[in-house]
Amino acid sequence: MNVSYKINELFETIQGEGSFTGQPSIFLRLQGCPVGCSWCDTKHTWEIDVKDQVPTPDMVNKPQESTTWATMSIDDILSTFNNEGYKAKHVVITGGEPCMEDLTPLCQALEASGFSCQIETSGTFEIRTTDACWVTVSPKVNMKGGYDILSSAMQRADEIKHPVATEAHVDDLKRLLKQHQVEHKPVYLQPISQKTRATELAIATCIENNWRLSVQVHKYLGIE
């Protein structure tokens, strides 16, 4: 199957969020996202512009975040892992909004090559992947893109990771959990932009609801 993906970044690091915090991971960041989160820290992945397409080596080795992306086949991706000497066996597919694409062929190939897979998605697109893939849904409510959170995404989620800065964000999450009947799933609260008030709110809310805290460890460590 000749499947390709638009990749903005491909790098090895430590997963800093959610259930896999501390796990050595290879990140595949896909280009393209119409959701429009105001606090997004990867806005350079939003637009797909052909003038930003570059060869794979230029994308892999770019010195800083940018709008440039490369088209990569599954074989290209696996070859790059090998050529770069990556040791991690956990692959995080993120964006952008990765679920704009059918990720099933990619995850099948990665799993067949000995990798575990994780998808990080806003829950606004159908999640097409393997049964074994770990799905992190970070539901984005009432964003300017106007997309609804899909019930199918909430049901498929292995964990729900919700960015918070205000009580309204907590209320949004509680409504979502009740609406889709997923109160039993692991819930992580992630303070937006590491702000003190957001962090204090997240800690207090986690304790009150027996939820978990995700503090974007990679940003505190100063790594990608």
Q: Give ∠ CA 143-144-145 in degrees, rounded to 5.
A: 90
Q: Judge whether 122 is annotated as a binding position.
A: no
Residue 19 among known ligand-binding residues: no
Annotated binding residue at 39? yes
- Tokens representing residue 110 in the block: 């990665």
Q: For 67-124, give the DSSP string.
A: S-BEEEEHHHHHHHHHHTT----EEEEESS-GGGS--HHHHHHHHHTT-EEEEEE-SS
CA-to-CA distance for 131 and 118, rounded, in angstroms? 11
Is 76 labelled a binding residue?
A: no
99 is in an annotated binding site: no
116 is in an annotated binding site: no
Alpha-carbon distance of 54 to 199, in angstroms, equals 38
Residue 22 assigned ligand-binding role: no
Residue 33 annotated in ligand binding:
yes
13 is in an annotated binding site: no
**Residue 74 marked as a ligand binder:** no
The reply, when asked if residue 42 is annotated as ligand binding, is: yes
Is 95 annotated in a binding site? The answer is no
Q: Which two three-digit tokens encode residue 212?
A: 């978990």
Tell whether 37 is in a known binding site.
Answer: yes
Residue 139 is assigned to a ligand binding site? yes
- 51 CB-near residues (< 8 Å, 6+ apart): none
Please check if 140 is assigned to a binding site.
yes
- Amino acid code (one letter) for 161: K
Which three-class secondary structure state does DSSP give residue 139?
Answer: coil
Q: What residues are designated binding site for substrate?
A: 14-16, 29, 94
Q: What residues are designated binding site for S-adenosyl-L-methionine?
A: 39-41, 96, 138-140
Q: What residues are designated binding site?
A: 14-16, 29, 33, 37, 39-42, 94, 96, 138-140
Q: What residues are designated binding site for Mg(2+)?
A: 42
Q: What residues are designated binding site for [4Fe-4S] cluster?
A: 33, 37, 40
